[in-house]
Structure 1
C-alpha cells in the first residue's frame, strides 16, 4: 500500500499536502475527527524519516517501510479560510490573520461588538448607526486594549520598554470595577472628611460669636 500523501514541493524545501488516501487515510480513520494528529489537506510536510528538501517526494512514494516518521507543519488559519493557503509558506494575509495580536483584537472586538449590538437593540437608533458607532467603536476600544502599552514598572532614567496587553475582557472589566470602587470609596472618604472639617469650623466660629456676645453683655 502506498503512503497516500500527494504533495506539491515548494521552494525545494517544503511540500504542501494536496490529497490524502492509502495508509495515511487509514491512519486518520483511527483518530477522532477533531484530533490535531490527523493529516489534513493544506498541511506542510517538512521532513519524512528525517529527510527534507527534494528527498521528501521520494520518501512519500515508498511502499516498503512499515513505519514512517513524518514532521508536519500546520497553518493557524481556521478551516473555512484554508483556501488562502496556496503554497507551503504563509502569505501576507495569512501572516496578519494568524498573528497573536490580531487574534486577541478580533476576539475582544467580537465580545464588545456583541455588547454593542445589544445596546443598539435597546437604543432605537437606525441601522446606519450600527457599523460606525457600535461596531466601529467596539473595534477601536479593542485596539486600544490590545495594543502595546507603556511599561510603568521600569525604573526612572531607564529607557522604557513596551509590552502587549494580553488580558481577557472579563479580567479588564474586573480590574476596572476594582479600581472604580476604590476610587469611589476614596472620594466618599475625602468628602466626608471635608464635611467634618466644615462642620467643625462652623461650630468653632459659632462658639466664638456666642462668647463675644456674652462678653459684650457683661
Structure 2
C-alpha cells in the first residue's frame, strides 16, 4: 500500500495468493478500498483461493473492486480499466465541463488532465491538441478558460483534490506524486488557486471543491464551493 500512497497510480492488481494469512483476504481488500477509494483494484483468484472469502467480498458491494480468476486475468484487467477510467478524475472533470465548452476546448481540458501526470509543459499540451501554443491560448481565452500554463496547474490540483479524498494519502505524499519541489509549494499553489488548505479540501470532499473552484473561476455555471474562497 505504500506504493499506492506515493505513486500517481489509477489501479492495482492484487494476487490473492500473496495476501498474508494473518491478514486475511477480506480484511486486506477492505483496508485497501477504504484507504484508496479513488483506485480500482483487480483481485486475482486462484484455484486454492477461499471461495467463501470471495463470496463475502462479492456481497460487500465494493464499488472499485473487480474479481477475476487467473485464467481470465487479461479480460479482468481490461474490464477494470474500462470501469476505472469511467470514474477517473480525467473522465469526471471532462464530463463536468463538456456541457459548457466546445469539443475542442473540452479536449484541451482532458489533455491537460492527462499531461499533468506526465510532466507536460504548455508547448507539448498545444502540440497534443494539434495547434500552436499561441492559437491554443486564443481558443482557451475565448471560452473563458485559463491560459495553457494555468490550465496545467489546475489539472494538477484537480488530481490532487481527488487523491486528498483518499484516507491513505497525505498532503505531502500528494505533493510528491505531482512532483512539486516541496510540500510548501504544493500548499501554496492550492491556496492561490482554490483558497483552501489540503485539509480543508479533504474535509470538503476531495475532488468536488477543487472542481467547483475551477468551474467558478472559468465562469462555467457552478456555484462557489461552500466554505471556500475562490481567488
Quick check: TM above 0.5? no
Tell me the TM-score normalised to structure 2 length: 0.27
Q: By percentage of residues, which structure has more strand?
A: 1
Higher normalized contact order (CA 8 Å, seq sep 6+, divided by chain length): 2
Task: Point out the structure with max Rg over C-alpha.
Answer: 1
